[in-house]
């Protein structure tokens, strides 16, 4: 069954009203329904005009969810936003609002939990495993080393020299 343009607009509006969506994901869905590019652009423009679609609102929701529920760091969040074609000018101000203390508190919390389950031969091995874990979650090396040192004591940087 081939959808008409008004039917597609209604379906996509319902899709956008359930949760925040990026323009990229809506465009992808419409192209998967085999709509021509000009029809896709008309539908997206209408959704933006009627406030169903807003990349800034999506980015704010995405960032808050990934920090709060997934416990992701800045690097991983930025990577995922770039995959969704969200412009840097949209997400940078939002990340700046959240930056600093929020990421550090989050990282300290997940490191404290992870530290209890890490099995290691010595302190150096434990610190290395915790750092690898934090980097995998998307936290910066500087913040990771600072938090691991705060949690376990000592000075990790001396091992890199």
DSSP annotation of 4 reads: P
Cα–Cα distance, 103 to 109 (Å, whole number): 10
Over residues 40-60, the mean pLDDT reads: 95
Residues 45 and 60 in one domain: no
Task: State the angle between helix axes of 37-49 and 5-18 in degrees (0 to 180), rounded to the nearest 10.
Answer: 50
- Position 159 scores a pLDDT of 45
Q: pLDDT, tens digit, for every residue of 61-84?
A: 999 999 989 999 999 999 999 999
Residue 122 and residue 138 share a domain: yes
Task: Please identify which residue in the block is written with the tokens 């991983």.
Answer: 76
**DSSP annotation of 161:** -
Judge if 85 and 119 occupy the same domain: no
Do 111 and 149 lie in one domain? The reply is yes
91 and 132 share one domain: no
Q: Are residues 112 and 150 in the same domain?
A: yes
Q: Are residues 74 and 108 in the same domain?
A: no
Dump pLDDT digits (tens) for 94-128.
Answer: 999 876 688 999 999 999 999 999 999 998 999 99
How many structural domains are present in the chain?
A: 3
Q: Is residue 106 located within the same domain as residue 153?
A: yes
Q: What pTM does this model have?
A: 0.86
What's the domain range around 63? 55-98
Residues 74 and 112 in one domain: no
């Amino acid at each position: 069954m081939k959808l008409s343009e008004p039917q597609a607009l209604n379906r996509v509006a319902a899709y956008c009203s359930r949760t925040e969506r990026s323009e990229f994901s809506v465009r992808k869905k419409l192209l998967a329904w085999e709509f021509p590019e000009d029809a896709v652009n008309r539908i997206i423009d209408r959704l933006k005009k009627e406030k169903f679609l807003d990349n800034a609102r999506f980015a704010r929701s995405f960032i808050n969810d990934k920090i709060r529920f997934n416990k992701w760091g800045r690097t991983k969040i930025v990577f995922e936003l770039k995959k969704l074609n969200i412009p840097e000018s949209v997400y940078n101000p939002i990340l700046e609002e959240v930056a600093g203390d929020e990421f550090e508190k989050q990282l300290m919390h997940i490191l404290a939990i992870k530290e209890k389950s890490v099995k290691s031969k010595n302190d150096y091995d434990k610190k290395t495993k915790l750092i690898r874990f934090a980097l995998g979650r998307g936290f910066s090396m500087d913040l990771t080393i600072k938090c691991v040192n705060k949690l376990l004591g000592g000075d990790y940087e001396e091992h890199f020299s």
